[in-house]
Amino acid sequence: MTRPPCYVVSLARSGQRRTTIAASLGALGIGFEFIDAIDASTLAGTDVRADARAGTRSGTSRSTGAAALGTAERACALSHRRAQQRLLDSGADHALILEDDALPGEPLPRFLDEGHHRLASLVLLFHSRARVYRRAVPLFGATVAYPLAIGCTSAVAYTLDRRAATALVRANTPVRRTADWPLDISGLGAQVVVPMIVGHPPRSDGQSTIAADRGDRPADPTRFITGDYLMRRWRKLRSHRIS
């Protein structure tokens, strides 16, 4: 089976990260293309200026609806949108998207060669705070996939098809929420792979370029009276956390 194209989201100035991820993917025999990430330190990208004019606002649970996203968060979201748009501009049906500090594991080529990226519109190969329904889909060996019950975090490594890419690009135009994710991806039928076949360095290692930009934000108390919140609580009760 033909492998999907692999796009690595990376700042053009991140020489060491590019060298490391290139070596890792090369050792696994996976070809890839770098997608130049939006550089928040310069705000040079036209995408950033356009979204700034549109009045970027955050819709995440970390902040109120009136709280603007940090510059680095906006740049990160725009960078993933650029990679997703690259799939839509190509003739491919699916793509593998990695951040440049991802740690691809040895099972990744098998996952791609056996076509498991076609399992769902969106498949998370790395995930954080994921809650899933107890309906495991066997992949190979001890590796299985679970349907995501509610939205989770981390966009370090995932595969997606054109339907998911279209939905994500639309939800992030203009950017209103962070790259992980601009909408509740459980609504896209997202699946998460267990055990994760792509790793990530501990956050304490200073890998994240947006953690400091996020900071502490007050939660929006009105979220407790919305239909979305009640539905999320119901899904949470029916699921269990696996990351």
Q: What is the largest CA-CA distance in the chain?
A: 51
Residue 85: inside a domain: yes
Alpha-carbon distance values, 76 to 53, 61, 111, 136, 180 (Å) = 17, 18, 27, 32, 9
Mean pLDDT value of segment 165-184: 90
Residue 30: inside a domain: yes
- Rounded distance, CA 159 to CA 195, Å? 16
Report residue 146 as tokens: 């679970």
Q: In sequence order, what are the beta bridge partners of 144?
A: 138, 194
Residue 188: inside a domain: yes
Q: Give the least confident one: 142-156, 210-224, 229-243.
A: 210-224
Q: Which residues contact 129 (CB under 8 A, 6 or more apart)?
A: 152, 153, 154, 241, 243
pLDDT at 82 over 50: yes
Given pLDDT bands bounded at 50, 70 and 90, which one contains residue 43?
A: low
**Chain mean pLDDT for the chain:** 85
Q: What is the DSSP string of 77-88?
A: HHHHHHHHHHHH
- Note down the domain range covering 168: 6-241
pLDDT tens string 108-165: 999 999 999 999 999 999 999 999 999 999 999 999 999 999 999 999 999 999 999 9
Residue 1: inside a domain: no
| Coil, helix or strand at residue 58 | coil
**For the CA atoms of the chain, what is the radius of gyration?**
17
Given pLDDT bands bounded at 50, 70 and 90, which one contains residue 229?
A: low
As for how many domains the chain has, the answer is 1
Residue 156: inside a domain: yes
Range 46-60 burial, b when 16+ CB lie within 10 A, else e: ebbeebeeeebbbbb
Residue 176, pLDDT score = 81
CATH number of the domain that 120 lies in?
3.90.550
pLDDT at 59 over 70: no
Residue 226, pLDDT score = 62
Residue 81: inside a domain: yes
